[in-house]
Structures are given as C-alpha cells and as structure tokens.
C-alpha cells in the first residue's frame, strides 16, 4: 500500500460515519457522544432511539435537536448548526461538534424529604414545626434548557447530580403551597392527595427554565408535633363519634377534666384553651355547612372577620388565637391575667395584657372575690 493510500485510510478512520447511543441505565439523564477529536462527515448517519433526543452543541451554543428517528446529516436537516458554523456554501465536511444524548423517559420513585424540621404558618395554630417526606417522578421536556442550565459541560449527568436541587425546591414549594392554599393545615394533612397536587402544580410553574417537568409529586407522610397529632386523630374520628356536636361536647368534657385534675397548675388553662381552639374550628365548620344549606349546596365564603384575635404565651407555649369574648371568659375564670403575655398581628412583639388598651378593659369587668361567709 502506497503512502497516499495509507493517508486515505487514516483520514477515513478519523471520520465519523455512524452516531448513536445504544442504552441508558435507569439513573443516567445525559451521555456525551465520545468522538475523541474525530470529525463528522457529510452524510453521516444519526440514529436516535425512542426515549432519547440528540442535542448538537457548537462551541457551547445549542444547535439542532433531533427527536427519535434515523437521519442522514446534511445542511437541509441541520439549519441551526449550519448558521452557527457560518457555512455559506453548504455542508463543510468534515466538521467537529459536540453531541449530547438526553434520556427523556420518566425517572420514577425518586425520594425526597425535608432536611429537618421546618416552620410553616397556619391560621389556626400560628407557627407549626413539621417534617415531611414522599416521592416524585420527573422527565426532561425541554432538552435545550436542560442542557444550558444543568449539564452543558458534563460528560455524563445522572439523577443524583440534581437530587439536592430538586429536594430543596420541593421543600420550599411545600411550605409555600400550604401557606398559599388558604386551607387550615389540619385539613391538608388529612388529605395528602390535595396537598400533593397543589405542590406539584406550583413546582411545575417554576421549573420550565430547567427543562424539567414533574409528572408526579406525592406527599407520603407529615410528622406533626405530638399535640397536633392528637387533634388530627380526634378530627378524623369525628364522623364515627356522631358529628360536630358530639365532638365539641367531648372536647369540652376533656378540658374540664384536665382543669379539675390541675386546680393550681397550668394544665387547666392549657386544657381550656385547647377546648376553645377546637370550638373555634367546629364553629367555622358549622357556619360553612349552614352557608351551603342556605345557598342550595353552593359553598359560600365565611363572614369577614372584624374582631381582634390574640395569641397567648402559656408555660412557654403559644396558644390561640382567641377572640375578645373568649379572652373575657378566660379572665373571669382567672386563667387570663394582666400579666399574661399576648401578641396579635401588627404588634412589634409580645407584651403584658395590661399594657394593651383593648385588653385592659377585660380585667375591669372581672368581679372581685366574694366576701367571706358570715
């Protein structure tokens, strides 16, 4: 073989005729086509399997994106790359270009969980500390954005490379979803399906810029503080106990038992406050049901709240909110005093009840102790 023939064979060996990616393992999202300085020649064959797309990169810029199918590479089916390469007179052969194969199948049963306890704000209980975990599924739906944002410089990109980012986004949106839903927290925690759907919708509104879509987002469990766990368990047994009236009566009886067992301690106050909080929730449900009956089964909004409501600090724990009528009740029972620390929206911080003008009148209305028996 002559020198010319050897050079011809060498050049032929350096040119790429067939471009393909056979398989992905279950955790691989992107594979870069290994070309080792080899060039792509005019008429090279590109095969893109189902569940894949091929993305051409020219010096870091996104070129043409090929969906599943078989292609012969020419200027006709490479318009973006042709523009990026400034091919004025057609396909320059051979040429060099990065090729990334993207896995577009759904990555299922990916696990997420809050890194620890996180705080959320609830209209019934104020600040609540929870932990949560579940699973999610996702897929690449915009390969161009996915490459630009996450893996343009990677040889291989796997699900674990973005798991921390995804878990962080889920946690943030879970907290925001609970806050923006307008539903009481205990209602959401007794219906994980609704909470999952709210969170999934919110996440997908944020993720188009990453080229990712969450196909399923599931909240499997929420770890509540012990006292809320008890309240939730009681609420879930409401129907079995005979309805709202029976439930309210039981809550009242339990609070009275606690008060009787702790005549000089804080347990009576905490029990009474817990009972009042539950009565608040039951009254809200009764009003909603009454509205539905009065308007042909259609849900009507609750009345606009005008009265002030306050949170109380009891034995280092936040209790409430309580309206003025309930606070007067507590004051008459000696459970709410001028020295009790209170807070409501708009106040800079906690303050003694006696220093709040609106509350000071409650203590003037408390009768003095009865005179000793003669």
Q: Are residues 123 and 92 in the same domain?
A: no
Per-residue pLDDT, averaged over 320-339, amounts to 85
Instruction: Write the CB contacts of 56 (distance below 8 Å, at least 6 apart in sequence).
Output: 62, 63, 64, 65, 66, 78, 80, 81, 97, 98, 99
Residue 296 lies in a domain: no
Strand, coil or helix: 98: strand
The pLDDT assigned to 361 comes to 82
Q: What whole-number distance in Å separates Cα of residue 205 and Cα of residue 191?
A: 22
- CATH classification at residue 218: 3.30.479.30
Q: How many domains does the chain have?
A: 4
The pLDDT assigned to 7 comes to 43
Q: Does 40 or 263 have the greater pLDDT score?
A: 40
Q: Are residues 117 and 220 in the same domain?
A: yes
Q: Are residues 42 and 76 in the same domain?
A: yes
Strand, coil or helix: 89: coil
Q: Are residues 116 and 219 in the same domain?
A: yes
Q: What whole-number distance in Å separates Cα of residue 143 and Cα of residue 149?
A: 10
Q: Are residues 242 and 327 in the same domain?
A: no
Residue 374 lies in a domain: no
Q: Are residues 33 and 80 in the same domain?
A: yes
Residue 302 lies in a domain: no
The pLDDT assigned to 103 comes to 97
Q: Are residues 152 and 215 in the same domain?
A: yes
Residue 314 lies in a domain: yes
Q: Does 202 or 122 have the greater pLDDT score?
A: 202
Question: What mean pLDDT value characterizes the chain?
Answer: 77
Q: Are residues 113 and 95 in the same domain?
A: no
Indicate the DSSP class of residue 95: B
48 and 65 Cβ atoms separated by less than 8 Å: no
For 347-361, write each residue's pLDDT tens digit: 888 999 889 988 888
The pLDDT assigned to 104 comes to 96
Q: Are residues 185 and 250 in the same domain?
A: no
51-55, 146-150, 227-231, 312-316: least confidently modelled range: 227-231
Q: Does 131 or 225 have the greater pLDDT score?
A: 131
Q: Are residues 158 and 63 in the same domain?
A: no
Q: Are residues 76 and 95 in the same domain?
A: yes
Residue 373 lies in a domain: no
Residue 38 lies in a domain: yes
Q: The tokens of 369 are what?
A: 């102790």
The pLDDT assigned to 134 comes to 94
Residue 355 lies in a domain: yes
182: left (phi over 0), alpha (psi -120 to 50) or beta: left
pLDDT band per the 50, 70, 90 thresholds, residue 49: very high
Intra-chain end-to-end CA distance of the chain, in Å = 134
Last residue of a domain, one of 172, 192, 225: 225
Q: Are residues 142 and 81 in the same domain?
A: no
The pLDDT assigned to 9 comes to 46
Last residue of a domain, one of 85, 103, 121: 103
Q: What whole-number distance in Å separates Cα of residue 104 and Cα of residue 53?
A: 7
The pLDDT assigned to 346 comes to 83
Domain that holds residue 70: 3-103
Q: What whole-number distance in Å separates Cα of residue 150 and Cα of residue 145?
A: 8
Partners of 223 in the β-ladder: 131
Q: Environment class of residue 170 by beta-carbon count within 10 Å: exposed (0-12), middle (13-18) or buried (19+)?
A: buried
For 145-191, write each residue's pLDDT tens digit: 999 999 988 999 999 999 998 999 898 888 888 877 777 777 777 78
Answer yes or no: is pLDDT of 88 > 80.
no
Q: What whole-number distance in Å separates Cα of residue 57 and Cα of residue 30?
A: 13
Residue 353 lies in a domain: yes
Q: What is the pTM of this model?
A: 0.58
Q: What whole-number distance in Å separates Cα of residue 53 and Cα of residue 32?
A: 12
Question: Could you tell me how many residues make up the chain?
Answer: 374
pLDDT band per the 50, 70, 90 thresholds, residue 101: very high
């Amino acid at each position: 073989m002559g020198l010319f023939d050897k050079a011809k064979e060498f050049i032929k060996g350096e040119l790429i005729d067939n471009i393909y990616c056979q398989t992905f393992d279950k955790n691989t999202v992107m594979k870069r086509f290994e070309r080792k300085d080899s060039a792509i020649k005019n008429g090279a064959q590109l095969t893109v399997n189902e569940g894949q797309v091929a993305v051409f990169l020219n010096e870091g810029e996104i070129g043409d994106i090929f969906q599943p199918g078989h292609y012969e590479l020419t200027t006709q089916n490479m318009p973006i790359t042709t523009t990026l390469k400034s091919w004025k007179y057609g396909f320059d052969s051979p040429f060099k270009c990065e090729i990334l194969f993207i896995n577009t199948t759904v990555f299922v049963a990916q696990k997420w969980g809050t890194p620890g306890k996180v705080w959320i704000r609830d209209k019934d209980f104020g600040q609540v500390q929870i932990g949560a975990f579940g699973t999610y599924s996702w897929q690449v739906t915009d390969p161009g954005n996915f490459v630009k944002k996450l893996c343009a410089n990677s040889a291989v990109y796997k699900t674990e490379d973005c798991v921390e980012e995804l878990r962080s986004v889920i946690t943030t949106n879970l907290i925001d979803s609970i806050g923006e839903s307008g539903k009481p927290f205990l209602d959401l925690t007794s219906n994980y399906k609704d909470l999952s759907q709210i969170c999934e919708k919110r996440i997908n509104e944020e993720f188009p810029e990453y080229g990712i879509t969450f196909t399923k987002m599931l909240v499997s469990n929420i770890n509540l503080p012990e006292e809320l766990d008890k309240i939730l368990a009681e609420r879930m047994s409401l129907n079995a106990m005979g309805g709202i009236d029976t439930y309210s009566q039981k809550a009242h009886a339990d609070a009275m038992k606690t008060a009787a067992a702790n005549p000089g301690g804080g347990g009576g106050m905490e029990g009474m406050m817990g009972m009042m909080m539950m009565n608040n929730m039951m009254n809200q449900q009764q009003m909603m049901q009454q509205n539905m009956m009065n308007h042909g089964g259609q849900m009507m909004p609750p009345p606009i709240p005008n009265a002030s409501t306050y949170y109380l600090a009891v034995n280092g724990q936040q209790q409430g909110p309580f309206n003025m009528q309930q606070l007067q009740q507590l004051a008459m029972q000696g459970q709410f005093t001028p020295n009790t620390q209170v807070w409501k929206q708009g106040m800079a911080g906690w303050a003694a009840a006696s220093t709040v003008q609106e509350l000071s009148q409650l203590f003037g209305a408390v009768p003095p102790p009865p005179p000793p028996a003669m």
